[in-house]
Amino acid sequence: MKLEIIAEAFAIGSLILLALGNLISSNKFTFSNFSIPQKAGFELNIVGWLFMGGFWFLQIEHYMMIRDPVNAFLCLLGLPFFSYLAYHEYLNIAWKTPYPALAWLGAMTVVAGGIYFFVERVPLLAGWFINIVAHHSAFLLEVFNHGVTLQPIDYGTGSTWYRPGSSYQEVTVGVSADWKDPMAPSVNIILACTALQSMIIFVGGVLCTKADFKRRIYAFLATVPVIYFLNLVRNVSIIYLTYSHVWGDETFYYAHSLIGKGGSLFALIFLAVALFHYMPEMQNNILDLIDLTKRKKPDNIK
């Protein structure tokens, strides 16, 4: 419970600090004869990135418990990655030179992270979205003559208005089927099965990139609806393979953690290329972030 509270504080704190930090570092705020220095924004960003790294580090245990080595490994990389971003916020101060791509990443993190955090922590909202995805997945299965029955939304224990993240309190929609192999485990649709994370990353990127409205709309339509549909295909495939008990007791693990995640990664890379076609500014920001390792001190700084 203590680690859960610490993780919650890290998550909320990081989003607030990064939001304030980006706001202060990119704007001039003057009150009477007092002005908030740009340096203060970068200092808030430093702490915000460190908090973000701490939050993901504390998620490793959860992903190991649910046998999700891919996300567990990514969480392990989170602490050094976000610490590196914090270091470059410090260089913004030391070199008195902002790095625009870093500000873009901070803004995108606040938008995408804020949306997901809000939905995940409000069970009523999470349940509503999970139920929609579950019904659309069931419809696709029905199209292929493998109908399923969806159970009522299970909110677990605790408040349905706000609840800290926990592997024991996930909102679920159960899936049952007459054609299910008796030896196959039951499948539940949870928030991670909705592709909300992937969609809001693209939404955050579109909203935080400087581009005209028309190109933003095209970029949105070329990615977010496609992600949603491909995720339905992923859900249908996992349910079909698991309930058919294709590879025995390990079927769900292979279908979900290996095939499902591998396919999702490939699709996201393809969609990112499509997104860059409409918004090359986003590609420039990402390339600039990759080039952080090549960042050099300005000539006028000793």
- Among 26-35, 126-135, 225-234, 236-245, where is mean pLDDT lowest? 26-35
Q: For 51-88, what is each residue's pLDDT tens digit?
A: 999 999 999 988 888 777 888 999 999 999 999 999 99
Backbone region of residue 67 per phi and psi (left: phi > 0; alpha: psi in -120 to 50; beta: other values): left
Judge whether 288 and 99 are in contact, CB under 8 Å: yes
Segment 36-56 shows an average pLDDT of 95
How confident is the model over 147-176, as pLDDT tens digits?
A: 999 999 999 888 888 887 654 568 999 999
Cβ atoms within 10 Å of 226's Cβ, excluding its own? 16
B/e letters for 268-302, b = 16+ CB within 10 Å, e = fewer, are: beebbeebbebbeebeebbebbeebeeeeeeeeee
Q: Output the pLDDT for position 166.
A: 53
> Which two tokens mark 290?
């990759």
Between CA 71 and CA 54 the distance in angstroms is 15
Neighbours of 53 (CB within 10 A): 23
For residue 91, the one-letter residue type is L
Q: 167-171 contacts: CB < 8 A, separation 24 or more?
A: 167/62, 167/65, 167/66, 171/123, 171/126, 171/127, 171/130
Catalytically active residues, by annotation = 193, 234
Contact in structure between 79 and 57 (CB atoms under 8 Å): yes
The pLDDT mean for the chain works out to 91
Mean pLDDT of 198-222: 93
Helices 213-244 and 123-143, axial angle in degrees (round to 10): 70
The answer to whether 45 touches 106, Cβ cutoff 8 Å, is yes
What distance in Å separates the CA atoms of residue 208 and residue 108, rounded to the nearest whole number? Answer: 6
Q: What pLDDT does residue 163 have?
A: 83
Res. 300 pLDDT band, cuts 50 70 90: confident
Q: Is the pLDDT of residue 298 over 50?
A: yes
